[in-house]
Structure 1
Amino acid sequence: MQFSKDSRRAIRLAKRVLKGRRAFFEVRELLATRGPLPEGRFRVGVYFADSDVNIYQMRQWYAPLRELSKTHPVVLIARNAAGARQLMHESGLDVTFEPKVTGLERLVDEQPLEVILYVNQNTRNFQMMRYGSRWHVFINHGESDKMYMTSNQHKAYDFAFVAGEAARARLLKALWDYEVDERTVAIGRPQADHLTGEPPYPADDRTVVLYAPTWEGDRPAASYGSVVTHGEPLVRRLLETGRHRVVYRPHPRSGVVDPAFGAANQRIIAALADANRRDPSAHHVFDQSPQLGWQLSLPDVAICDVSAMIYDRLATGKPLMVTRPLAPEAEIDEGGYLSVCEWLGSEDTEGIDAVLDRVIGDDAARERLGTWSQHYFGDTTPGAPSRRFREAVEALLLRAEDRKAPLRS
């Protein structure tokens, strides 16, 4: 048994090495074709040390960053070849690939880089944060009440751009001696200004249900994924009714840790395909597109796990349900929106159609959604979050100019 496990582990390692080598040579060719970036151009950088496995953390920032780059050029700083390749293919932004620290040294010599943004807590962030005379800013890759949102690692950054007052209250409660008022800037959710795109189904009388579960997590306290506990019976019932359309958007890491989780995910995908073959007018969707837009704004109701997807949907003010984790170790902060949300227990999945009818028709619940959306994101008027994001960056750029100005007697 151990020999078999070791063999599988060796095969996975060999595949990762081969994938990395291929990506490295492809990125090198792409950079050679593009040529060097102009020196002295970029005052804003976004640091990403991960592979393409975690590219979802960058994807949600593509549109806001492209908007920002219209007035303040932005460069993406990639440290992993597979991650760099993905960014170059899909971000629409300038990318530099710096696998070695010596490359970072050259980069900070050639570019002003007065504001560096970070979307996650990769330990290699510290290789960039060693450079002073610039602002290091944590912008995260989502807004939620997961324990990740109150990591003490916030203290490592000069500032954190947070969604709103809920995030500030969360940090104030969890962290000792963290100057929340001085070191956080509330910008809302700039991604909400870019929830666009055409859905791959026609407008008809079907009730569209977004089911967007998270992955299984890498530790018991983060066991929020519902694919095994809720997903299969939930989707099976919705496919049976003939009046629902399922948009299934699983987390890209589904099954990375737990093979059973990955197998359940594949069975749901197969069930959707089979339902479409039996009824071509159903147009059920297995969605894995890199951009997140219509998936949040158009469905009549969304079912999400405890994850950032809850709060992305919350910003739209439309009906929403949250799956209740079965794992007793899963940590849930029920002091915020989760204290009043519509929970979906695994025992309710067999009758999910009736449950959703109730939630969609609940006017009082819609009013609560609007109130909590304001608490988490502030002003959600179209364009307001993007403006706040741009102004937050510009304020730091001005502070950088002041710091670099020569001292006057």
Structure 2
Amino acid sequence: MGIQRDVRLGIKLVRDVTASRKAQRLLNGRLSKREPLPRQHFKIAVYFADGGVNLYQMRQWYKPFAKLAKTWPVLVLSRSGAGALPLIEESPVPVAYVRRVADLERVLAEQDIRVVFYVNQNPRNFQMMRYGRRWHVFINHGESDKMYMVTNQIKAYDYSFVAGDAAVARLDKVLWDYDFDKRAIKIGRPQADYYSGATPYVADERQVILYAPTWEGDRPAAAYGSVATHGVALVAALLKSAHHRVIYRPHPRSGVVDSEYGAANKAIIAAIAAANARDASARHIYDASPDLGWQLSAADVAIVDISAMVYDRLASGKALMVTRPVHPAAQIDTSGYLSDCEWLQADRAGNILDVLDDLTHNNEARDRLKDWVERYFGDTGPGVATERFQAAVTHLMQEWERCDAEHPQAVRIESVNSTDEAPTLEVTEAEAL
């Protein structure tokens, strides 16, 4: 078994190296054709040290960044070739590939970066945070009650943009001597202002069910994924119904740790294809698209795992169920929404039609949901979160002006060894959620 495993790892390494070199050639070609970035133009940077596997963390911010860039030009700083190539292809704001620290320092010298956003806790964020005279702001890539959301690492940033009262209460249990009034700025969920888009089907009488599970996790405490425990039975029952339409949107990392989990994911995808082949009018959807928006607004009911998807959906204010993890070691924060949510137990997944019928007619559940939406996100009226996001950035820009005037002779940090660079291979160092 050990030899077979080593052979598989060796084959994977060769494939990764080959894919990385190909991506690097494509990236070099794209970069050679680009015009230089305008100097002293960009005011905001978005630092992203990950590769392609974690691009979903950036994609959800595309539209808010594009809106923000109309006031303050925004530049993405990508440290990985595997991340930079797709970012250059799809990002609505410009991207600078800064693999080496020397590249990063060159861009900082050429631009007037005053605010730096971070969407995850990649350990290499610290390579950027060494540069002062700018605000380093953690904006995360979603709201959730995962243990990832209560890390003491938040103290490393000058500010954190959080969704609302629930996020502050969660952090208050963990962070000692932290000035929440100053450093935790509530902005709601600006991404929710863009929950729209054309659906790949014509709306009809079918009830639309979004099933969006997370991946299997890399340790028992984070074993929140439901594809193998709930998903196969749940989707099978829905596909048999002539009154339901399934939108299946699995996490892009599904199966990277557990092959059985990956097999269950593939089985669901195959079942959806077979159901559509039997009845083309069903229009069940396997959704692997990079954009998240229409799925949340179009679904009558969403069934999700403990992940940021709970709160992406919660921000819409529409019916929601959360799968209850089966693993006994899975950590669940029951002090927030998860203490009062509509749980879907694994042994009820096969009876999902009855469960949905009960939920649809449960007025008490609807009222509870409304209360939790306000607690987590505040006012979710159209455009309100976007206004709060813009106002938060305006505040930081004003604070930058004040501090810059008070400290005009601040000492610059000396350049570090220019050989300090990001690896060419895609290495996922940040937690994928």
What TM-score do the two structures reach when normalised by structure 2? Answer: 0.93
What is the identity, as a one-letter code, of the residue corresponding to 1:226? S
Identical residues among aligned pairs (%): 57
Question: Secondary structure of the equivalent of 1:209?
Answer: strand
Query: CA offsets per residue over residues 199-253 of structure 1, 9 Å max, x none?
Result: 1111111111000000001111100000000000000011112211000000000
The offset of 1:179, in angstroms, is: 2.1
Q: Residue 263 of structure 2 aligns with which residue?
A: 263
CA distance in 2: counterparts of 1:20 and 1:79, whole angstroms: 14
Q: Please, which moves more after superposition, 175-184 or 217-226?
A: 175-184
Question: Secondary structure of the equivalent of 1:175?
Answer: coil
Q: Residue 371 of structure 1 aligns with which residue?
A: 371
Q: Residue 340 of structure 1 aligns with which residue?
A: 340
Q: Is the 8 A contact 1:52 1:82 kept in 2?
A: yes
The offset of 1:177, in angstroms, is: 2.2
What is the identity, as a one-letter code, of the residue corresponding to 1:307? S
Q: Residue 5 of structure 1 aligns with which residue?
A: 5
What is the identity, as a one-letter code, of the residue corresponding to 2:321? M
Question: Secondary structure of the equivalent of 1:137?
Answer: strand
Structure 1 position 76 matched with structure 2 position 44: no
Q: Residue 18 of structure 1 aligns with which residue?
A: 18
CA distance in 1: counterparts of 2:406 and 2:174, whole angstroms: 40
CA distance in 1: counterparts of 2:407 and 2:253, whole angstroms: 51
5 Å-filtered alignment, 1:152-301, equals 152-301=152-301
The offset of 1:105, in angstroms, is: 1.1
Q: Residue 142 of structure 1 aligns with which residue?
A: 142
CA distance in 2: counterparts of 1:305 and 1:407, whole angstroms: 48
CA distance in 2: counterparts of 1:345 and 1:181, whole angstroms: 39
The offset of 1:406, in angstroms, is: 5.9
What is the identity, as a one-letter code, of the residue corresponding to 1:145? D
CA distance in 1: counterparts of 2:262 and 2:99, whole angstroms: 31
Question: Secondary structure of the equivalent of 1:401?
Answer: helix
Q: Is the 8 A contact 1:317 1:366 kept in 2?
A: no
CA distance in 1: counterparts of 2:389 and 2:148, whole angstroms: 22
CA distance in 2: counterparts of 1:394 and 1:357, whole angstroms: 46
Structure 1 pair 168–406 and aligned structure 2 pair: CA distance change class (3 A) = closer
CA distance in 2: counterparts of 1:228 and 1:334, whole angstroms: 23
CA distance in 1: counterparts of 2:352 and 2:70, whole angstroms: 45
Question: Secondary structure of the equivalent of 1:386?
Answer: helix
The offset of 1:182, in angstroms, is: 1.9
Query: CA offsets per residue over residues 82-136 of structure 1, 9 Å max, x none?
Result: 1011111111210000000111111111111110000000011000001011100
Structure 1 position 121 matched with structure 2 position 138: no
Q: Residue 355 of structure 1 aligns with which residue?
A: 355
Q: Residue 46 of structure 1 aligns with which residue?
A: 46
Q: Residue 87 of structure 2 aligns with which residue?
A: 87
The offset of 1:403, in angstroms, is: 1.6
What is the identity, as a one-letter code, of the residue corresponding to 2:399? R
Q: Residue 101 of structure 1 aligns with which residue?
A: 101
CA distance in 2: counterparts of 1:10 and 1:156, whole angstroms: 38
The offset of 1:25, in angstroms, is: 2.0
CA distance in 2: counterparts of 1:399 and 1:18, whole angstroms: 47
Question: Secondary structure of the equivalent of 1:201?
Answer: coil
Q: Residue 395 of structure 1 aligns with which residue?
A: 395
**Could you say what the CA RMSD is over the residues aligned between the two structures, in angstroms?**
1.1
Question: Secondary structure of the equivalent of 1:34?
Answer: coil
Paired residue total:
408
CA distance in 2: counterparts of 1:107 and 1:391, whole angstroms: 26
Q: Is the 8 A contact 1:300 1:360 kept in 2?
A: no
Structure 1 position 315 matched with structure 2 position 287: no
CA distance in 2: counterparts of 1:31 and 1:165, whole angstroms: 43
Q: Please, which moves more after superposition, 396-405 or 127-136?
A: 396-405
What is the identity, as a one-letter code, of the residue corresponding to 1:36? P
What is the identity, as a one-letter code, of the residue corresponding to 1:15? R
Query: CA offsets per residue over residues 239-298 of structure 1, 9 Å max, x none?
Result: 112211000000000001111111100000000000000000100000011111110011
What is the identity, as a one-letter code, of the residue corresponding to 1:316? S
What is the identity, as a one-letter code, of the residue corresponding to 1:370? K
CA distance in 2: counterparts of 1:148 and 1:70, whole angstroms: 32
Q: Which runs of 4+ in 1 moved over 4 A?
A: none
CA distance in 1: counterparts of 2:89 and 2:301, whole angstroms: 32
What is the identity, as a one-letter code, of the residue corresponding to 2:230? H
CA distance in 1: counterparts of 2:254 and 2:222, whole angstroms: 13
CA distance in 1: counterparts of 2:171 and 2:318, whole angstroms: 27
The offset of 1:407, in angstroms, is: 6.5
Q: Please, which moves more after superposition, 24-33 or 309-318?
A: 24-33
CA distance in 2: counterparts of 1:184 and 1:346, whole angstroms: 37
Query: CA offsets per residue over residues 26-82 of structure 1, 9 Å max, x none?
Result: 222212212210110011000000000000100100010011011111000000001
Q: Residue 425 of structure 2 aligns with which residue?
A: none
Structure 1 pair 247–407 and aligned structure 2 pair: CA distance change class (3 A) = closer
CA distance in 2: counterparts of 1:86 and 1:168, whole angstroms: 34
What is the identity, as a one-letter code, of the residue corresponding to 1:313? R
Structure 1 pair 407–277 and aligned structure 2 pair: CA distance change class (3 A) = closer
CA distance in 1: counterparts of 2:243 and 2:47, whole angstroms: 45
Q: Residue 27 of structure 1 aligns with which residue?
A: 27
What is the identity, as a one-letter code, of the residue corresponding to 2:338? L
Question: Secondary structure of the equivalent of 2:281?
Answer: coil
CA distance in 2: counterparts of 1:231 and 1:250, whole angstroms: 10
CA distance in 1: counterparts of 2:66 and 2:27, whole angstroms: 21
